[in-house]
A and B are shown apart, each in its own frame.
Chain A
């Protein structure tokens, strides 16, 4: 049976008129044999290295599998986590190869929505201008206050904007982690003091929530995912959580009480 011959790109470098012999056939003389041996040595992995190379490849494949299994949003088992952390993380993490690659794109959840940062001077969001420096307008609770800084800018679809969105989303997500909670909002505030010209800021992280498919023609909604006040007093950075507006609003019963006056 004739073997399928895959064209070798080296064919083009073969001198015109040179003998073309089927793959795997033996050399016809010592000179040709030496030449082929030289070619093999030049391009092929030496036989002595194949064993160690195979061992290393096997090790890497195990590491790759453990990294994928150990970096999913679903969590990981103690066994997988321990093996990965002990044997593979020390050399795969520095190379940025400890990756789960679980690119889910979207789950349709609020946390998958676009997030952005809004930075206000103190009092603009809460309506309580505590320690408001003279000459700086306090925000009013009537209508939506104007952010001193919005990151990323509205309508910015660049990769840079995507990084700001990731930062905002990470700050919200980190609130569920005891070690990370509050760290990023405080850092965002501290990093924005100079740009805002004030050491007392209110930071709001807003998510832009698309409508359900059932009401696809509706406009996107926005919801506040996180709201904090960050200030520096006597060189000390303070993070003051701001309760959601619904917790501050008085409860008003719209319906008149039975027997009550209108």
Chain B
């Protein structure tokens, strides 16, 4: 009896260890991660553009986000490379260097170096103006650090074209994809938890409050004003989708469908919510969640 129970515990522990190993350390080809890299690089360039026009107004020598403002806003452990850029010229030089890194990351050039440097640049930029940061910036930061873990330059890249040897599957790619999947689920779950604290997500009018904002990109106020049922449907659909995504990526049967739904669903939610860049960033995470067998043809031809 005791022997049987101890052996079943050992079997369970071995199964759990096997599952843990398979989730985190399965050697994987770089195709999927390379596409995440390219999309994240493009998103980074788009977001960087939104900082560019007011860079000096915000961070310049006489800018709004002065060291005094940062002192009141930033955590004591926060650091930014931009803190040392005391002149407008230095600020622009550092900014364009970072944009260049994002460009190199997008095409997969010297990825071993550009991936961590681009992530460092992005974190530095966000630390320089924390009150200007939006949810898309946060998600992009997570994606960029996940890319540092993997070998995303092994496919669809300049690196691949220049490489002499064929790229092989690597546990680092599996680890990076596992991190991306974990964060995709956590971000969706945290959004649901945050939303369900408010009445508007229960009484079904949250979609109205999103659509009626001045900053909305797609004007759905006419539709929602005309039909409370439609308003309720969109509100509840957003919550249910987020719950389905957060949980569904962990099950082998539901992972594919919810990840594919995420490729469409997250951008749509982003549009309705007036946060299209956040929707795009979440769609990148959804891409990373797709099961391996749905990514035929992403094994890694050169750029």
B200 touches A162 (CB 8 A): no
Q: Is A170 an interface residue (CB 8 A)?
A: yes
B141 touches A96 (CB 8 A): yes
From A72, A90, A187, A216, contact of B194 by CB (8 A) = A72
Interface extent on A, as a size class? 35 or more
Find chain A residues with CB under 8 A from B134 CB.
Answer: 159, 162-163, 166
Find chain A residues with CB under 8 A from B132 CB.
Answer: 163, 166-167
- Measured in the bound complex, the distance between the Cα atoms of B194 and A165 in whole Å is 21
B64 touches A101 (CB 8 A): no
Chain B residues 191 to 225 lying within 8 A of chain A, measured CB to CB, are 191, 193-195, 197-200, 205-206, 208-210, 212-217, 221, 224-225
- On B, residues with C-beta under 8 Å from A are 20-21, 24-25, 27, 29, 31, 46-47, 49-51, 53-54, 57, 62-66, 68-69, 72-73, 75, 77-79, 119, 122-123, 126-127, 129, 131-136, 138, 141-142, 145, 166, 168-171, 182-183, 186-187, 190-191, 193-195, 197-200, 205-206, 208-210, 212-217, 221, 224-225, 228, 231, 238, 273-275, 277-278, 292-293, 296, 299
Known contacts A50-B21, A57-B24, A163-B50: A95-B217 contact under CB 8 Å? no
- Measured in the bound complex, the distance between the Cα atoms of B171 and A50 in whole Å is 11
Known contacts A42-B168, A97-B141: A102-B190 contact under CB 8 Å? yes
- Measured in the bound complex, the distance between the Cα atoms of B212 and A41 in whole Å is 57
Known contacts A57-B24, A163-B54, A216-B225: A101-B191 contact under CB 8 Å? yes
User: Which stretch in A20-28, A122-130, A131-139, A177-185 binds the other chain?
Assistant: A177-185
A160 touches B187 (CB 8 A): no
User: Which stretch in A29-37, A140-148, A206-214, A244-252 binds the other chain?
Assistant: A206-214
Known contacts A101-B190, A160-B53: A217-B225 contact under CB 8 Å? yes
Q: Chain A nearest CB: distance from B272 CB in Å?
A: 9
- Measured in the bound complex, the distance between the Cα atoms of B7 and A166 in whole Å is 58
Chain A residues 151 to 184 lying within 8 A of chain B, measured CB to CB, are 157-167, 170, 174, 179-180, 183-184
- Point out which of B65, B72, B135, B215 has the most chain A C-beta atoms below 10 A from its C-beta: B215
A112 touches B209 (CB 8 A): yes
B25 touches A53 (CB 8 A): yes
A158 — nearest CB in chain B belongs to which residue?
A: B50
Find chain A residues with CB under 8 A from B171 CB.
Answer: 43-45
Q: Chain A nearest CB: distance from B157 CB in Å?
A: 17
Q: Chain A nearest CB: distance from B151 CB in Å?
A: 11
A94 touches B77 (CB 8 A): yes
- Measured in the bound complex, the distance between the Cα atoms of B46 and A129 in whole Å is 43
A13 touches B194 (CB 8 A): no
From B126, B194, B216, B224, contact of A103 by CB (8 A) = B194
A104 touches B197 (CB 8 A): yes
Q: Chain B nearest CB: distance from A99 CB in Å?
A: 5
Known contacts A96-B138, A98-B75, A211-B212: A160-B50 contact under CB 8 Å? yes
- Measured in the bound complex, the distance between the Cα atoms of B68 and A189 in whole Å is 14
Find chain B residues with CB under 8 A from A48 CB.
Answer: none
Q: Is A73 an interface residue (CB 8 A)?
A: yes
A101 touches B72 (CB 8 A): no
From B24, B145, B182, B215, contact of A162 by CB (8 A) = B215
Q: Is A191 an interface residue (CB 8 A)?
A: yes
Q: Is A74 an interface residue (CB 8 A)?
A: yes
Q: Beyond A50-B25, A184-B64, list 8 extra A-B contacts (CB 8 Å).
A: A43-B169, A54-B20, A94-B123, A96-B138, A99-B138, A103-B275, A163-B54, A208-B214
- Measured in the bound complex, the distance between the Cα atoms of B301 and A252 in whole Å is 79
23 contacts between A and B (CB under 8 A): A9-B29, A10-B169, A45-B171, A64-B182, A72-B193, A73-B194, A97-B145, A101-B190, A105-B206, A106-B213, A107-B200, A108-B200, A108-B206, A112-B209, A160-B50, A162-B215, A166-B131, A166-B133, A179-B72, A187-B65, A187-B69, A216-B221, A220-B214
